[in-house]
A = this chain, B = another copy of it.
Amino acid sequence: MPKRVDHAERRAQLAEALMRIAAERGFEAVSLRHVGAEAGVTSGMVQHYFRSKDELMSFALEVVTERAHARATAAVGEAGSVREEVRALLTALLPLDEARRVEGRVVLAFMSYSTGRPELAEVLRQNTVAMREHFAGQIARVWAGENRLGMEPLQAATGLVALVEGLGVHVLGEHYAQEEALAVLDAHLELLLGQSMRRSG
């Protein structure tokens, strides 16, 4: 055999090339040849590692979700309180730097692309479901059984995830500055988890 190559690493490199193209030139510019060129190889090499374009696409989506998951768990590790953890998790999902903007664009593209492709849609769905349940648990802990905001923890969690999703989309589209999005997120976190809640009734 030749130079013994790490299969997983090569696949990851190609997935990264795909993400760069999707983020910079749009999803329709993603082709085997372009991905190869972006990675400095030929389309034949891409074919060697992915049996079809669909397989390449699926793998890229998995990479991007794994990356987001890794950043999220890293952020959790640094948090001291539940509220800090929730905030760290949510801000880890916002496109606040170039790397996350690229990932955000890729995820957005996949959201549209997954129409009529159940396997891809399922990956995205599981992601949302997991986050929803995680936040619901954390919110329930903070609320400690009391529910003075007129909603269930799961509803609050669903709203929080949706809020961040929407803020992310708007920041990506440069509808407003990321500082505004962060301020809005903080205000809503304060509303849900802050002291003011204990003063309400």
- On A, residues with C-beta under 8 Å from B are 23-28, 105, 108-109, 111-117, 121, 124-125, 128-129, 132, 149-151, 155-156, 158-159, 161-167, 169-170, 172-176, 180-181, 183-184, 187-188, 190-191, 194, 196, 199-201
In angstroms, how far is the closest chain B Cβ from the Cβ of A12? Answer: 23
Copies of this protein in the complex: 2
| Residues in B neighbouring A125, C-beta threshold 8 A | 173-175
| Residues in B neighbouring A172, C-beta threshold 8 A | 111
Q: Is the CB of A150 within 8 A of B112?
A: no
A185 and B145 CA atoms in complex are apart in Å by 22
User: Chain A contact residues: over half helix, strand or loop, or mixed?
Assistant: helix
Q: Is the CB of B173 within 8 A of A166?
A: no
A180 and B129 CA atoms in complex are apart in Å by 13
| Residues in B neighbouring A149, C-beta threshold 8 A | 187, 191, 196
